[in-house]
Amino acid sequence: MKQGFSNRRDFLKSSAAASGMALLTSIQAKANTHSPSLKAATRIRFGVININHNHIYGMTEAVKRGGGELVWIYAKEPELVAAFMKQFPEAKLARSEQEVLEDSSLQLILSSGIPDERAPLGVRVMQHGKDYLVDKPGIITLDQLAQVRKVQKATNRIYSIMYSERFENRATVKAGELVKAGAIGNVIQTIGLGPHRMSIKSRPEWFFDKARYGGIITDIGSHQFDQYLFFTGTTEAEVVASQVANTHYPQYPKFQDFGDVMLRGNGGMGYIRVDWFTPDGLASWGDGRLTILGTEGFIEIRKNVDIASGHNGGNHLYLVNQKETKYIDCNKEPLPFGQLLVDDVLNRTETAMPQAHCLLATELALKAQKNAKTIQLVK
């Protein structure tokens, strides 16, 4: 593999530490630049249960930036616990899930467990009077979704899914500010591309079993559904068409390596493509891209790498409108999600992400996955 970021976790750590000078415009001046303190005072206490994906590191850091104090860690895998506690030595090792759930001093639980176990844990968390932040996919079946909605409504707890390709990508956060400020007029379509590197040797057995990870659209496609809803302002939508395939891995018959979706809703249209074909020659786990088409211009985001320029790292944004064509380095943009989520835990508000939006993004992904046509390529 060539020099660069060999996996998502390395890239996220590096991009969080990277620096860059953002160019200022009158539109940017109107945008909200709410920035939490890196050493925020403790405002809530939280625990972590199950850590089967490394996204838990970024999730934990986000909540800590927002004023969360990490108290407990529980997982069944000793090697995963050891690595987590090395990164977060303040965490106490719990003897069981129940020990964490029954700690009345905690307000929030985080999890990146095996995908099929995430929603049932979230139900138990809410039934114990706590809010929940879970890695995507936060729910992998429509039956799980129905149960989550039922318990969330009954308990009035927060069930939040960490759509990190929006919340933890600085260029995407900046795009949200520019769109809100009217930089490209009314948004009418998003095109979201989510390629990922396979890295077979590092993948656990459950990674290749659709019953456990939910399918490619449910899994990595969930990010793009979230962005579609957010940037178009859509509150009602339908899946026009979807398809999936296993084109290259016959040794894993329950795996899918390609999927795409067409959407339409009351705020705009959307197209999504996800795959597991990032080549080793790319200095990132994936060339994630987002195009936001408006009536007065468009924004293109190179989330992790920009192969068509000399720009290093990720967080690159291109703005084209009736006045200018402009490149913006977003590496110094703040990431407000953690602070906003802690605000919501304390104030019972929905500033980080409305609950209806969170679950609608998942519902669309699940319906697209369930109804997807399976493609068989013949070479």
At 16-38, the pLDDT tens digits run 333 333 333 333 333 333 333 35
Q: Quote the strand ranges of the chain, DSSP E.
A: 44-51, 68-74, 92-93, 108-112, 131-135, 159-162, 187-195, 237-245, 258-265, 269-275, 289-294, 297-302, 316-321, 325-329, 373-375
How far is 286 from 98, CA to CA, in rounded Å? 37
CATH class of the domain whose range is 13-31+165-336+368-373 = alpha beta
13-31+165-336+368-373 and 44-162 in the same fold: no
Reduce the DSSP state of residue 14 to 3 states and report it.
helix
Question: Given its phi and psi angles, is residue 215 left (phi above 0), alpha (psi -120 to 50 degrees) or beta?
Answer: left
Residue type, 295: T
CA 84 to chain centroid: 20
Read off the DSSP letter of residue 324: -
Mean pLDDT of the chain: 91
Under a CB-based contact definition with an 8 Å cutoff, are residues 170 and 331 in contact?
yes
Give the pLDDT of residue 243: 98
Does residue 337 carry a pLDDT above 50? yes
How far is 207 from 115, CA to CA, in rounded Å? 9
Instruction: Please write the tens of the pLDDT for every residue from 126-162.
Output: 999 999 999 999 999 999 999 999 999 999 999 999 9
For residues 253-271, average pLDDT: 98
Under a CB-based contact definition with an 8 Å cutoff, are residues 152 and 355 in contact?
yes
Q: In the chain, what are the helix, strand and coil shares in percent, each to the nearest 5?
A: 35, 25, 40
Interhelix angle 115-127/142-155, nearest 10 degrees: 20
Q: What angle do CA 175, 178, 180 make, to 5 degrees?
A: 110
Residue in the block written with tokens 């539109």: 27
| H helix or E strand, kind and range, residue 211 | helix 210-213
pLDDT confidence band for 15 (50 / 70 / 90): very low
Sequence-distant (6+) residues with CB within 8 A of 252 are 208, 246
Interhelix angle 355-370/222-232, nearest 10 degrees: 130
Residue type, 80: L
Sequence ranges of the domains in the chain: 13-31+165-336+368-373, 44-162
For residues 314-343, average pLDDT: 98
What are the two backbone dihedrals, phi and then psi, of residue 258, each rounded to the nearest 5 degrees?
-150, 145
Omega prior to 279 cis, within 30 of 0:
no
Give the pLDDT of residue 39: 57
Instruction: Please write the tens of the pLDDT for every residue from 282-302.
Output: 999 999 999 999 999 999 999
Q: For residue 33, count CB atoms less than 10 angstroms from its CB and return exposed for 0-12, middle for 13-18, buried for 19 or more.
A: middle
CATH homologous superfamily for the domain 44-162? NAD(P)-binding Rossmann-like Domain (3.40.50.720)
Report which of 262, 289, 286 is spatially closest to residue 276, judged by C-alpha positions.
Answer: 286
What are the two backbone dihedrals, phi and then psi, of residue 242, each rounded to the nearest 5 degrees?
-155, 150
